[in-house]
Amino acid sequence: MAVVSAGTVVLSGQVCRPGWLEISGRRIANCGAGEPPAPVDAAFPDSVVVPGFIDMHVHGGGGASYTSADGIAAAAGFHRRHGTTTTLASLVTAGPSELIAGVRALAEATRHGVVAGIHLEGPWLSPGRCGAHDPSLMRDPDPAEIDALLALGDGTIRMVTLAPERPGSEWAIRRFLDAGVVVAVGHTDATYEHACRALDMGATVGTHLFNAMPPLHHRDPGPALALLQDQRVTVELIADGVHVHPAVVRAVIEGAGPERVALVTDAIAAAGCDDGAFRLGTVAIDVASGVARVRGTSTIAGSTATMDALFRQVAAPGLDAALAAAVRMTSATPARALGLSAVGELRAGYDANFVVLDRELRVTAVMAGGEWV
């Protein structure tokens, strides 16, 4: 047993000043507000302890990418040091053989606990809203390919992003849902009606809301309004100050509520690196002043953000409501959206995943599965 105390601990969504955690093995054995009932092994009197971050949309970081077998541990380790203790590794649009190789490597990494599962962001997307994906590799859902990927993944594919207007998408939505895979709407030119149909069929996530989809228009609302108004839907937001204006981020959080908003990094290998040249799948990327763009264009290509930076964007030191909302959007909401158990909150019986933040909400320590990172 080990007891950890802090000046502020967010327990089960409640801000406690002070609070404590009792760790046994990889789990939280007990926790509570006030002074701890036993001698303390690690004290953080001037710090804030929050649940480990959960990133449900991330492609890489620290110079490494989830598209290569040798980069998976490095990318996951980089983000873990920034507080992300649970990672859903995202694969970009790729050809059939490359997609198979990516799923095979990530399925193995999932079984070893390096990542929590796979997010297939493509290839069943709209070329008209390709973003930093290679439009020449996008294709309609094919039953044989999808069945092969699901068999290879063997339960490790947790989420799929698709464009519901593509031929075959309705079959694909049903097939993925039958396999227990969360279906997200994104990189889409769908009409409002198309999007509503996908949601009624069981899609429950909006991939990086507003990005790679038609803008909201008063006579042609498109998928954004469908995603926002459906209470069953969790919307991803890349709150890095680049992808979505901060005022829009605040409006979405206030309107949908933090229980329906999941902050995601959509980070690529360039996260944590100096400006320069990178790749996202087959697409060449240039990073200047920390902003990634498809080479030779103005198209944003993922982000260079980490979850702790996004946390600071929406939280405010000393303001309990803002702190609790930030915690929900970086932990409990993504955990619920993905159907993950025993993570996303600090409570007895849950995994001992937490982040220690200083007065400026910067990471000073991380525990993952009962081990200090």
Residues tagged active-site: 266
Give CA separation, 197 vs 119, 170, 171, 206, 231, in Å.
Answer: 22, 9, 13, 14, 15
Q: Do the annotations mark residue 369 as ligand-binding?
A: no
Residues 20-46 as b/e (b if ≥16 CB within 10 A, e otherwise) read bbbbeeebbebbbeeebeeeeeeebee
Q: How many C-beta atoms surround the C-beta of residue 140 within 10 A?
A: 13
Q: Do the annotations mark residue 302 as ligand-binding?
A: yes
Q: Hey, what are 73's tokens?
A: 């541990």
Q: Do the annotations mark residue 301 as ligand-binding?
A: yes
Q: Do the annotations mark residue 345 as ligand-binding?
A: no
Q: Do the annotations mark residue 212 as ligand-binding?
A: yes
Q: Do the annotations mark residue 7 as ligand-binding?
A: no
Give the end-to-end CA distance of the chain in Å, rounded to a whole number. 18
Q: Do the annotations mark residue 208 as ligand-binding?
A: yes
**3-class DSSP state for residue 291?**
strand
- The number of C-alpha atoms within 13 Å of 277 and in the hemisphere containing its C-beta is 5
Q: Are 116 and 158 in contact (CB under 8 A)?
A: yes
Q: Do the annotations mark residue 353 as ligand-binding?
A: no
How far apart CA 330 and CA 64 sit, in angstroms, is 22
Q: Do the annotations mark residue 362 as ligand-binding?
A: no
Give CA separation, 105 vs 98, 113, 192, 280, 334, in Å.
Answer: 11, 13, 36, 17, 23
Q: Do the annotations mark residue 94 as ligand-binding?
A: no
Q: How many C-beta atoms surround the C-beta of residue 168 within 10 A?
A: 16
Q: Do the annotations mark residue 218 as ligand-binding?
A: no
Classify 164 in phi/psi space as left (phi over 0), alpha (psi -120 to 50) or beta. Answer: alpha
**CA 89, 316, 44: angle at the middle one, nearest 5?**
80
Enumerate the β-bridge partners of residue 13.
none
Q: How many C-beta atoms surround the C-beta of residue 313 within 10 A?
A: 17
Axis crossing angle, helix 222-229 with helix 192-201, rounded to the nearest 10: 40
Residue 238, judged by CB atoms within 10 A of its CB (0-12, 13-18, 19+), counts as buried
Sign of CA dihedral 215, 217, 220, 223: positive
Bind-site residues for Zn(2+): 121, 187, 208
Bind-site residues for substrate: 132, 211-212, 219, 243, 300-302
Bind-site residues: 121, 132, 187, 208, 211-212, 219, 243, 300-302
